[in-house]
Structure 1
Amino acid sequence: MEYLGYFASIIIGISLGLIGGGGSILTIPILVYLFKVNPEQATSYSLFIVGLTAMFGSYSHYKMGNLKLKSALYFAIPSVISILIIREVIFPQIASTLFSIASYSVSKDFLIMIIFSILMITAAISMIKKNQPEIKTTETNYTQLSIIGFIVGIITGFLGAGGGFLIIPALLFFANLPMKQAVGTSLLIITINSSIGFGGDLYIGTPINYPFLLSVSAMALLGMLIGSQLSKKIDGTKLKPIFGWFVLVMGFYIITKEVLF
Structure 2
Amino acid sequence: MEIIEVLGYVGSLFIGIVLGIIGGGGSILTVPILVYALTLNPVVATAYSLFVVGATSLVGAVKNMMKGLVDIKTAIIFAIPAFIAVYLTRAYLIPAIPDQLFELGNLMVTKNLAIMLFFAVIMLLSSVSMIRNKNKESRPDERITYNYPLIVVEGFVVGVVTGIVGAGGGFLIIPALVLLAKLPMKKAVATSLLIIAVKSLIGFLGDIQNLDIDWVFLLIFTAISVLGIFIGIRLNSFIDGKKLKKLFGWFVLIMGVYIIYRELSA
Moved more, 27-36 or 129-138: 129-138
Distance change >3 Å, CA 102–CA 237, structure 1 → 2:
closer
Between the aligned partners of 1:253 and 1:210, the Cα distance in structure 2 is 30
Determine the structure 2 residue equivalent to 1:80.
83
Displacement of 1:102 = 6.7
Determine the structure 2 residue equivalent to 1:199.
205
2:109 match: secondary structure = strand
- TM-score scaled to structure 2, two decimals? 0.94
Determine the structure 1 residue equivalent to 2:114.
111
CA contact (8 A) 1:67 1:184 kept: yes
Moved more, 29-38 or 231-240: 231-240
CA contact (8 A) 1:2 1:35 kept: yes
Instruction: Name the % identity.
Output: 48
* Cα deviation digits, residues 119-148 of structure 1 (max 9, x gap): 000000000004343246763212211110
CA contact (8 A) 1:71 1:142 kept: no
Structure 1 position 189 matched with structure 2 position 192: no
1:256 is aligned, of 220, 245, 261, to 261
Q: Which runs of 5+ in 1 are unaligned?
A: none
Between the aligned partners of 1:130 and 1:8, the Cα distance in structure 2 is 24
Displacement of 1:201 = 1.4
* Cα deviation digits, residues 96-124 of structure 1 (max 9, x gap): 11123575311100000000000000000
Moved more, 28-37 or 192-201: 192-201
Moved more, 99-108 or 222-231: 99-108
**In the comparison of the two structures, how many residue pairs are matched?**
260
1:98 match: secondary structure = strand
Displacement of 1:189 = 0.3
Displacement of 1:91 = 1.3
Structure 1 position 15 matched with structure 2 position 18: yes
Q: Show the 5 A alignment for 1:100-179.
A: 100=103, 104-135=107-138, 139-179=145-185
Q: Which runs of 5+ in 2 are unaligned?
A: none
CA contact (8 A) 2:138 2:183 kept: no
Determine the structure 2 residue equivalent to 1:24.
27
CA contact (8 A) 1:19 1:240 kept: yes
CA contact (8 A) 1:32 1:42 kept: yes
Structure 1 position 215 matched with structure 2 position 213: no
Determine the structure 1 residue equivalent to 2:242.
237
CA contact (8 A) 2:49 2:167 kept: yes
* Cα deviation digits, residues 190-232 of structure 1 (max 9, x gap): 0110111111211x24111111111111111111111110001
CA contact (8 A) 2:61 2:190 kept: yes
* Coordinate RMSD, CA, aligned: 1.4
Displacement of 1:90 = 1.6
Between the aligned partners of 1:70 and 1:8, the Cα distance in structure 2 is 34
**In the alignment, residue 128 of structure 2 is paired with which amino acid?**
I
**In the alignment, residue 195 of structure 1 is paired with which amino acid?**
L
* Cα deviation digits, residues 15-38 of structure 1 (max 9, x gap): 011111000000000000000000
